[in-house]
Structure 1
Amino acid sequence: MHISFTKHDPRISTSSKGILEYLDKENIGRESELEDFQENENLEISFDDEQFGNQNLFFTNAENGEEKFFTKDVASDKIDGNLSNRSKENESKFFMLNISPGKDEIEHLNEVVNLELKSKGIGETETEILNQTEEGKKYLELIKNDLMHQSLREYTRDVMKNYAENFDRNVYTNPEKLPTQKEEKEINQFAKNELKNQGISPEDSRYAEKYQELREEKATELGKDLSVRKMNENDLVWFAKVEEKRTYKGNDNWVIANRKIQKRISELGYSTREDAKKEIEDLKKSLFKDRVTGKVIREGMQKGGQQYHVHVIVSRYDNCPNKRHRKSISPLSNHRSGTVANKNIAVGFNRDEFFKKSEQSFDQKFQFQRTRSYEKFNQQKKERRASLSINAKKTKAKLKSVGKSVAGNMAAPVKQEVLKNSGIQELSKLNLMNGVSRELGFRIPLSIPKSPMQMVYKITRSAVGKILDVGKGY
């Protein structure tokens, strides 16, 4: 699982509208594809499933076990409007998280989807029947794709739960009952005076805790509430969207390499050298190709295979109704531990811990047995650095030898071991009568779009009926 952070650049734009419009780019292709499919004269059922429309919308936290979806305009208004009185003009107002499952994780999600379909009566036999016609294939593809979207939305909510918890911040329990600025000054002064009278100085390890207790007591006397609780995902303002496609960018290493090779091939095309033709052939063979499609990689070309990923736009501030009390929460602030008033404290965002927990969330939710974890990768990186440090004074040739040796030790497990530990065996033990997503404990169990499912049943029943007729000699 790869998760990256990108901060908003206020020099380019002060609004999130541009990035949300960019994330809407797949909608055009998806809508066009569905329209073409709907216009097929052979289809007797029209698509009216809201679920397909939801793929084009942005999602966020669920409410009472129900998913909520928003247009890009509503999402951008909520992000842009969630500012603090302390907001600075030159600071980022939001961040983008890119959640990208690896190949093994996507394959495992496909297995979860297949088992969910099996629990609904679409097993291997039915799948084989559907794959015999383009119409059946398309219906099956639409259903599977929607189930993948649902799975990734469910996982993204877990990621954002980890995101909120990782800050280890307190927020006010009842923000609607906070004191006014004048009242708060009075409360704070009372607490400081009381602590001074008790002989508790700011250097005392009990100071912060006692100070908060006194503030809460005084606020209660005034009919206000300054009690706090730990921040959770519901205190964030975020919107996300699942995407299915990726394209090669101009700054990708393979694109850059191919550009240089193509330039050299073009130059040799005018050469009169006898060996120019052979060199051109060799250069063409060295061009980097997409591992799935086999096409020569170029800028703007769509990547082959399943490219599911999620983009999350999250506000820099929590959603406290009182703008004066909204706190800045940046995932790019470095995590630091220290001691203040003889008390151990930690500030910032622990990205290592966040990445580790996000992987663990995926593994627990989908019963995935991870063989290559972020934690293991970090440990191997430390070992490699230590190994290189020990051999730093040796010759360059020796260093290369050590590097190869270390790389060999870090190689991924063989395919049999990966399959053994992939988690598919664990999934097969689930009770399919309940539906896989319910067995796995999804807060929002997977649901299959109605119209395509009706057509799937119709196609399979028709095929089975024909087989029976042939068996009877009709």
Structure 2
Amino acid sequence: MYITITAQKLGKTYGQSSAGFVAYLEKENQGLEQEEMEHFFNQYGDEISAKEVVNEIDGNTAKLKNKEPKFYSITVSPSKYELTRLENSSADLKRYTRELMKDYVKCFNREINGRAITVDDIKYYAKIEHQRTFKGTDRQIRENQPYATKILQLKNHIRKIENGERIGNIDKLKLKIGKLERDAPHQQNGIRIVQGMQKAGNQSHIHIIVSRKDATNSVSLSPGSKYKSSEVEMHGKKVGRGFDRDMFFEKAEKTFDKTFGYQRNFAETYKARKDFVKNPNLYFAALMKLPANEKAMAFKLMHKTGLPVIPNIPTNQAQMALRIFKRLRQGVDVAIKSSSIGV
């Protein structure tokens, strides 16, 4: 499961309208018949139009300054293993979203009129998407880049020969290009992976746009608050503030597992991934204590997600294994930020 919470920006400032983001989320519907489209939905409604989403989100920004976000985007991307538990990606993810947003409001350390916040207090709209493309930041693109650079240089060389600007053997250069295409480390269906290429397999995921203000347009609810979960005294009263992201991420996993009967492996948990970055000793100790079958699955998942896979070293050599693990970890680019999780 990979979840991000993002305050939508336009350059260095916060956008004054959700129109651009909503239009972006409509991209998969282009060229489709009405019955094939994925529509926006919320806790109780289906087939909500993009126009209504923009009007509702943009009209719910009372007293927010230009430098404050008007809405947040939550992206929920189940792993390919999690997706295998779904019988119908669209219907199941829609059902999960509605349960997830109940978890979302529970993670605010706030009250409205002296009572706990409920899902009816927020204004959100969600949309299911089924496609993804490779981006420049993806590991496959980054590791293929040296090959892409050499291929571009050779193609430019061929173009100059064709224009009479240089002398050379075009056939030999084309053979070199073919070899580079084949040697690139990341391929999909026998073709070198390039930026913008559509990812194969089930890529279903959820986009959620949630207003910064509550449904009454009077209370500010920010999941981007720097206050995790605390209290502050205002007008002689103690008032709760903050949003507990760790709690939200963990609840997201538990709700998915309960909803779809998913047996989550240690390596798939938010806590494990966080420990991997923050406390590798703790991560390694927990990994080595797993039963053999779960440990084998954990190694498989680690490999698929870019985490280092340690050699199969006997547990009585744990200290040696830990040193190897730490050395491997130094070369791994894993971003576990307060705003996102990834498995």
TM value normalised by structure 2: 0.70
Match of 1:149 in 2: 90
Closer, same or farther: CA 230–288 of 1 in aligned 2, 3 Å: same
Q: Tell me how far 1:81 sits from its aligned partner.
A: 0.5
Closer, same or farther: CA 69–402 of 1 in aligned 2, 3 Å: closer
Contact between 2:4 and 2:76, CA under 8 Å: does it hold in 1?
A: yes
* Larger fraction in strand: 2
What is the alpha-carbon distance in structure 1 between the residues aligned to residue 68 and residue 238 of structure 2? 29
TM superposition outliers: structure 1 runs of 4+ over 6 Å: 275-279, 385-388
Instruction: Show CA shifts across 1:164-189 (max 9, x none).
Output: 111032113xxxxxxxxxxxxxxxxx
What is the alpha-carbon distance in structure 1 between the residues aligned to residue 232 and residue 121 of structure 2? 27
What is the alpha-carbon distance in structure 1 between the residues aligned to residue 328 and residue 240 of structure 2? 38
Contact between 1:335 and 1:346, CA under 8 Å: does it hold in 2?
A: no
Q: Tell me how far 1:71 sits from its aligned partner.
A: 0.2
TM value normalised by structure 1: 0.52
Note the 1:102-141 alignment, pairs <5 A.
102-109=79-86, 113=87
Q: Tell me how far 1:279 sits from its aligned partner.
A: 6.8
Match of 1:364 in 2: 258
Q: Tell me how far 1:337 sits from its aligned partner.
A: 5.0
Are positions 1:57 and 2:39 aligned together?
yes
Q: Tell me how far 1:297 sits from its aligned partner.
A: 1.1
Note the 1:154-303 alignment, pairs <5 A.
154-172=95-113, 228-268=114-154, 270=157, 283-291=180-188, 293-303=189-199
Are positions 1:83 and 2:54 aligned together?
no
- 2:223 paired residue among 304, 309, 331: 331
Q: Tell me how far 1:75 sits from its aligned partner.
A: 0.8
What is the alpha-carbon distance in structure 1 between the residues aligned to residue 243 and residue 140 of structure 2? 33
- 2:71 paired residue among 79, 90, 94: 94
Instruction: Show CA shifts across 1:345-403 (max 9, x none).
Output: 86311111100000000000111110021122223433316799xxxxxxxxx997342
Contact between 2:122 and 2:215, CA under 8 Å: does it hold in 1?
A: yes
Closer, same or farther: CA 406–22 of 1 in aligned 2, 3 Å: closer
Letter paired with 1:18: G
What is the alpha-carbon distance in structure 2 between the residues aligned to residue 22 and residue 378 of structure 1? 31
Match of 1:314 in 2: 210
Match of 1:403 in 2: 326
In the alignment of these two chains, the number of paired residues is 276
Q: Which structure has the greater CA radius of gyration?
A: 1
Contact between 1:26 and 1:243, CA under 8 Å: does it hold in 2?
A: yes
Closer, same or farther: CA 373–386 of 1 in aligned 2, 3 Å: closer
Note the 1:347-426 alignment, pairs <5 A.
347-371=241-265, 372-384=268-280, 401-403=324-326
What is the alpha-carbon distance in structure 1 between the residues aligned to residue 220 and residue 117 of structure 2? 12
Letter paired with 2:221: I
Letter paired with 1:157: R
Contact between 1:155 and 1:362, CA under 8 Å: does it hold in 2?
A: yes
Instruction: Show CA shifts across 1:398-427 (max 9, x none).
Output: 9973425779xxxxxxxxxxxxxxxxxxxx
Letter paired with 1:381: V
Instruction: Show CA shifts across 1:42-87 (max 9, x none).
Output: xxxxxxxxxx46x43200012xxxx433100001100000122x31
What is the alpha-carbon distance in structure 2 between the residues aligned to residue 233 and residue 387 of structure 1? 35
Taking only the aligned residue pairs, the percentage that are identical comes to 33
Contact between 1:336 and 1:346, CA under 8 Å: does it hold in 2?
A: no
What is the alpha-carbon distance in structure 2 between the residues aligned to residue 314 and residue 338 of structure 1? 23
Contact between 1:290 and 1:303, CA under 8 Å: does it hold in 2?
A: no
Closer, same or farther: CA 315–338 of 1 in aligned 2, 3 Å: closer
Contact between 1:268 and 1:280, CA under 8 Å: does it hold in 2?
A: yes
Question: Gaps (5+ residues) in structure 1?
Answer: 35-51, 114-146, 173-227, 389-397, 408-474
Contact between 2:15 and 2:70, CA under 8 Å: does it hold in 1?
A: no
Question: Gaps (5+ residues) in structure 2?
Answer: 158-167, 285-320, 331-343
What is the alpha-carbon distance in structure 2 between the residues aligned to residue 9 and residue 277 of structure 1? 44
What is the alpha-carbon distance in structure 1 between the residues aligned to residue 178 and residue 47 of structure 2? 53
Match of 2:16 in 1: 14
Match of 1:70 in 2: 48
What is the alpha-carbon distance in structure 2 between the residues aligned to residue 354 and residue 7 of structure 1? 17
Q: Tell me how far 1:284 sits from its aligned partner.
A: 3.1
Contact between 1:94 and 1:315, CA under 8 Å: does it hold in 2?
A: yes
2:215 is paired with a residue whose SS is: coil
